[in-house]
Structure 1
Amino acid sequence: MINTIIFDLGGVLIDWNPYHLYRKVFNNDDEIRDFLASVCTPDWNEEQDAGRSLKNGTDILVAKHPDHEDNIRLFYNRWEEMLGGAIDETVTIFKQLKDSGKYKIYALTNWSEETFVLTKARYEFLSWFDGIVVSGTEKIRKPYPEFYKILLDRYHVNPEEALFIDDSARNVEGAENLGISSIHFTSAAELKNELISRGIL
């Protein structure tokens, strides 16, 4: 029986996407795609999510790609422009779960500690969680099992009684490897249907 819901944030409850910023800079999406695949890559960004400072991450990348310095520095200098807003349909589901009074609800997010401060001030619904575990604060991220275990241990969560929701198949697999039932998020509509079919919503 599920008594705990664990949400990812980016891509599930918050529309975070570098394209929102870089569409103001590059001529087309192909140029953005190339830049994010070869310069400001997901692997590079994940190091900041895992605790490396934004300054160190930026300096390392500028040294490696000096010809892209201006656009590299934009990544964190104008990082808030990557936030497209709340994903309202998922926030509505979150509120329904919260209002039911049946569940403890937590967030487990890969997010830089420095940028999460900005994010937390922007979205009121982040105060609804019973607890939030941020990778940048803990210096470890999904899908490493130790990161999930921080939440399980800190909030005394039985993995067999928890449900994890994340838009990354890799992160879902990491949770399932620890015995946590999971939903791979693709849309709010699909999530709602899945929660109803499981008798949770």
Structure 2
Amino acid sequence: MKIKNIIFDFGGVLMDWNPRYFFKDYFNDDEKMEYFLENVAQSEWNEEQDRGRSLSEGTEIQVKKFPEWEKEIRAYYDNWTIMLKSDIPQNVEVLRKLKQTDYQLFGLTNWSAETFPYALENYDFFQIFDGKIVVSGVEKLIKPDPKIWHVLLTRFNIQANESVFIDDNQKNIEMAQSLGFITIHVLPETNLEQELVGLGISI
């Protein structure tokens, strides 16, 4: 089957986001920071905002649960833009090269509907997708729920077996494989261009 489509996850693939970029200086105490991120503002909590829960509701829920951490919890989304450190230049470069080819390019991201517009406005490479982006917070679905891949396939009338899906999360990769996608699991050491070329994609 000929590859026609290339689908990018954003965080960890094209964008370098990590709450530690803000909280490292905020706490100035790595042990306390890690405790907070593992037990209070843990990724499962943040994922609910990515699934469509409002930032304010998510914040109030956690403040009620952990009143002694109220100041830190409220600081989380107030300083979200600091956590979005930068793009990942080598992978964005690959995206820009792909724009010059005949492949269709898509985005499939777990991202809050409230914070995604900031990234869209501040990083020009998102325009390359020409609006062909599925955002979990908008759809009220989140990877690895297979339904969010089906939204992408149906909305843009594409086939999984003609598509490469790129993500940094192992669970998302496994789900995409089970749905028939060709996959690339991005790790910090991954050379994305080499991986794509290895699949027969000419860049």
Pair 1:129-2:129 in alignment: yes
The residue that corresponds to 2:47 in the other structure is 46
Match of 2:145 in 1: 144
| Runs of 4+ in structure 1 over 3 Å off | none
Distance (whole Å) between structure 2 residues aligned to residue 97 and residue 86 of structure 1: 17
Matches of 2:189 and 2:120 in 1, distance apart? 22
- Cα distance in 2, alignment partners of residues 20 and 136 from structure 1: 23
Counterpart residue number, 2:111: 111
The share of aligned pairs that are identical, in percent, is 44
* Deviation for aligned residue 1:28: 2.9
The total of aligned residue pairs comes to 200
> 1:79-118 counterparts in 2 under 5 A?
79-100=80-101, 102-118=102-118
CA shift for structure 1 position 189: 4.7
CA contact (8 A) 1:89 1:188 kept: no
- Residue 24 of structure 1, CA deviation: 1.7
What is the alpha-carbon distance in structure 1 between the residues aligned to residue 3 and residue 63 of structure 2? 47
The AA in structure 2 aligned to 1:126 is: F
SS of the equivalent of 1:152 reads helix
- Distance, in Å, in 2 between the alignment partners of 1:198 and 1:133 is 24
Which consecutive unaligned segments of at least 5 residues does structure 2 have? none
* Per-residue deviation, 1:190: 2.3
SS at match of 1:151: helix
1:59-70 → structure 2 map (5 Å cutoff):
59-70=60-71
| Structure 1 portions without partners, runs of 5+ | none
Cα shift readout 1:76-97 (whole Å, capped 9, x = no counterpart)? 0111010111111100000111
SS in 2 for 1:24: helix
TM-score (norm 1): 0.96
Deviation at 1:34, TM superposition (A): 1.2
Distance across 2 between alignment mates of 1:164 and 1:188: 18
Alignment map for 1:177-188 (pairs within 5 Å): 177-187=178-188
SS of the residue corresponding to residue 10 of structure 2 reads coil
Give CA-to-partner distance per residue, 1:63-106, whole Å, 9 cap, x none: 00000001101110111010111111100000111112x20000
Map residues 12-31 of structure 1 onto 2, 5 A cutoff.
12-31=13-32
Equivalent position amino acid for 1:184 in 2:
H
Paired amino acid for 1:121: E
Report if the CA contact (8 A) 1:169-1:184 is conserved: yes
Distance in 2 separating the partners of 1:29 and 1:16: 18
CA RMSD, 1 decimal: 1.1
Partner Cα distance (1:13, 1:187) in 2: 12
Contact 1:51 1:139 in 2 (8 A): yes
Q: Secondary structure at the match of 1:10?
A: coil
Q: SS of the residue aligned with 2:164?
A: strand
